[in-house]
Amino acid sequence: MVCTANDLQGWKDFPKGLRVLLLQGDNNSASEIRAKLESMDYNVSTFYNENEALSAISSSSKDFHVAVVEVSISCPHGGFKFLENAKDLPTIMTSNSRCINTMMKCIALGAVEFLTKPLSEDKLKNIWQHVVHKAFNAESSAMSESLKPVKESVESMLQLETDNKLHESTILIDLENVSKSSDDEHEHSAASDKYPAPSTPQLKQGARLVDDGDCHEQTNCSIEKESGEHDGGECKFVETSCENVNAESSPQPTKPLIKEEDDFANGSKGESSVLTNPQSKKLLGDTGVNASPNETSGPKDSCEIKANRKKMKVDWTPELHKKFVKAVEQLGIDQAIPSRILELMKVEGLTRHNVASHLQKYRMHKRQIMHTDEDKKWPKQRDTMQRNYCMQRPIMAYPPYHSNHTYPPAPVYPMWGQPGSQTAGVPIWAPPGYPLWQQPTESWHWNLYPGVHVDAWGNPMLPLPQTPCLPYTPNIAGLHNAKAVDYRFGMPQNSFDHYPAEEVVDKVVKEAITKPWLPLPIGLKPPSMDSVLDELTKQGIPFSKSKASKH
């Protein structure tokens, strides 16, 4: 039986044809198991002698994908010898015994699972999962040759799914991710949490598991803990039925993740989450969607876990947020609309709505920050650092303008200006808000780097191609007729380091008009309603007072 990677390259009906090494003590048991396995299209090689089995794998270890080995108490070695010498082969230990010590020993020695006899079809049909698990969790260097094609096969399988089911492919991405960092124990356990490769019937699969349950749950749980301590690396334990609990000291999610929340009966929340790896160029690029770990082409009847993907909850992790911010900056304030942001972020699975929502929150935060302490703090900071960083605020702190109006400490953001209705004519009392965009925001808790806000918020150090970093200049073209902003001209010209180019000014104006929600710079205040209306009247622009005062 020669098995090369190429042979398995186009493994279409995985796990059909999976080669199983069956090591049993007695003929009856062996033939029974074999029959069952073969009925599932597994390719079974039976051994009754441990040494023979061992020599089989040593001579052509690549030929087997998984082993089912009996733990015989009577035997001197009892299968442990095989287990210990078949580290690269996912090995499932079986026994009539339910002795927990035996089970623990098996697991500790690297067994991927312990199955108590009799081996029901339910138990057997899922053994392929261990193969996949191994294929994805082993270091590629350490991965036995027979597993590589499995991995590839599964990969392509998942990719195909992508078309109709986005979420499916996320598994792949995650798995990729996991395999990369397989050294890390935490990562490992995390991966196991998310993608267990249990052979035993799962809770989710229904009541069936009850029948052969015995002390199943309990023992499995015990083993989980135990094995966690024992096996240091290679043969990770695969969690089984107990979908619980303490198994995870789950590490902090560092990758953006989107949770799928399915609606299992209350109590057992079948929730799985997938890490999105922004760097992953695989397939979708980066996906945030996730899936339930039901391998679609596994033995069919056993994998009928309904893929009830529902609402994908986007978790705006710092990474994801960073991407978001980056995109926003890249676009510039006036271009920062959900669809474009989405494009730039290149996070598949993320929807425009998600982005829009986030944008909403983002703006609100900005505004909020602006309203509170920032106003007071700012005048001090401004000299120290900001200038070079595309000053968020106008340079003029408190321009000596001669207005009767007082400066509201917390400027309001009237929405009455109808964007686009007129450009030059609109009184631009609302300054560009975009610089604020990058304002350090200690209150935004997503900021991972409290010390380096600027970077975290979008790298103000980098020149913004679309939004030149010029100090804000309130002296904006197009304001000339606006009484309300007359004071601008009271500002001494030399108080600005640079005079903005026309385009910049235009941009600024445009921003001010189109983004009225953005805060006014210090020293500026909105014009009174009257002055605005007055101005509009003068210019022959019709307006509705009721509408104007609506907001």
Q: How far is the CB of 523 from DNA (least distance, A)?
A: 23
Per-residue x/- track, 60-99, DNA (CB under 7 A)? ----------------------------------------
**DSSP type of residue 201:** P
CB contact at 8 A, 535 and 482: yes
Radius of gyration of the chain (CA): 32
Establish if 138 lies at the interface with DNA (CB under 7 A).
no
Q: Which is nearer to DNA, 410 or 415 (CB)?
A: 415
DSSP readout, 414-431? ---S-TTT-STTS---SP
**Site stretch for DNA (CB under 7 A), options 123-131, 203-211, 359-367, 500-508:** 359-367
420 φ/ψ sector (left φ>0, alpha ψ -120 to 50, else beta):
left
Establish if 180 lies at the interface with DNA (CB under 7 A).
no
Q: How far is the CB of 204 from DNA (least distance, A)?
A: 19
Q: Which of 314, 347, 524, 536 binds DNA (CB under 7 A)?
A: 314
Distances (CA, A) of 416 to 364, 426, 432, 520: 18, 11, 16, 15
Q: Which of 194, 323, 358, 393 binds DNA (CB under 7 A)?
A: 358
Q: How far is the CB of 68 from DNA (least distance, A)?
A: 41
DSSP readout, 13-42? TTTTT-EEEEE-SSHHHHHHHHHHHHHTT-
Q: Residue 507: helix, strand or coil by DSSP?
A: helix
Both structure tokens of 459:
């790298």
Which residues, 144 to 163, sit near DNA by CB under 7 A?
A: none
Read off the amino acid at residue 235: C
Q: Where are the alpha helices (DSSP H) in 61-99?
A: 80-85
**Site stretch for DNA (CB under 7 A), options 90-98, 230-238, 332-340, 461-469:** 332-340
Residue ranges with strand state E in 96-143: 113-116
Distances (CA, A) of 384 to 285, 396, 397, 443: 41, 15, 14, 21
Establish if 415 lies at the interface with DNA (CB under 7 A).
yes
Which residues, 491 to 550, sit near DNA by CB under 7 A?
A: 517
Count the residues of the shown chain that bind DNA, applying the rule CB under 7 A.
25
Establish if 312 lies at the interface with DNA (CB under 7 A).
yes
CB contact at 8 A, 354 and 276: no
**Site stretch for DNA (CB under 7 A), options 44-52, 125-133, 162-170, 333-341:** 333-341
Q: How far is the CB of 339 from DNA (least distance, A)?
A: 3
Establish if 115 lies at the interface with DNA (CB under 7 A).
no
Per-residue x/- track, 420-459, DNA (CB under 7 A)? -------------------------xx-------------
Q: Which is nearer to DNA, 16 or 352 (CB)?
A: 352
Q: How far is the CB of 447 from DNA (least distance, A)?
A: 10
Establish if 340 lies at the interface with DNA (CB under 7 A).
yes
Q: Which of 58, 249, 254, 339 binds DNA (CB under 7 A)?
A: 339
Establish if 389 lies at the interface with DNA (CB under 7 A).
no
Q: Which is nearer to DNA, 218 or 360 (CB)?
A: 360
Rounded Cα distance between 414 and 284, Å, is 42
**Long-range Cβ contact pairs of 245-254 (< 8 A, separation 24 or more):** 247/189, 247/193, 248/189, 248/190, 248/193, 249/186, 249/189, 250/189, 250/190, 250/193, 251/186, 251/187, 251/189, 251/190, 253/315, 253/317, 254/317, 254/319
Q: Which is nearer to DNA, 315 or 455 (CB)?
A: 315
Which residues, 255 to 294, sit near DNA by CB under 7 A?
A: 258
Q: Which is nearer to DNA, 119 or 350 (CB)?
A: 350
DSSP readout, 534-546? HHHHHTT----HH
Q: Which of 315, 455, 506, 534 binds DNA (CB under 7 A)?
A: 315
**Block residue for tokens 């669809």:** 339
Establish if 363 lies at the interface with DNA (CB under 7 A).
yes
Q: Which of 346, 361, 405, 545 binds DNA (CB under 7 A)?
A: 361
Establish if 345 lies at the interface with DNA (CB under 7 A).
no
Q: How far is the CB of 444 from DNA (least distance, A)?
A: 8
In angstroms, how far is CA 40 from the centroid of its own chain? 36
Q: Which is nearer to DNA, 296 or 357 (CB)?
A: 357
If residue 364 lies in a helix (H) or strand (E), which one and from where to where?
A: helix 352-369
User: What residues contact residue 87 under an 8 Å CB cut-off, 6+ apart?
Assistant: 110, 234, 235
Rounded Cα distance between 190 and 248, Å, is 7
Q: How far is the CB of 471 from DNA (least distance, A)?
A: 25
Q: How far is the CB of 88 from DNA (least distance, A)?
A: 41
SS (HEC) of 288-354: CCCCCCCCCCCCHHHHCCCCCCCEEEEECCHHHHHHHHHHHHHHCCCCCCHHHHHHHHCEECCCHHH
Q: Which of 180, 326, 352, 453 binds DNA (CB under 7 A)?
A: 352
If residue 123 lies in a helix (H) or strand (E), which one and from where to where?
A: helix 121-125
**DSSP type of residue 472:** B
Q: How far is the CB of 260 from DNA (least distance, A)?
A: 10
Q: Which of 99, 160, 307, 337 binds DNA (CB under 7 A)?
A: 337
Q: Which is nearer to DNA, 186 or 551 (CB)?
A: 551
Establish if 306 lies at the interface with DNA (CB under 7 A).
no
Contacting residues toward DNA, per CB under 7 A: 258, 311-316, 337-340, 352-354, 356-361, 363, 415, 445-446, 517
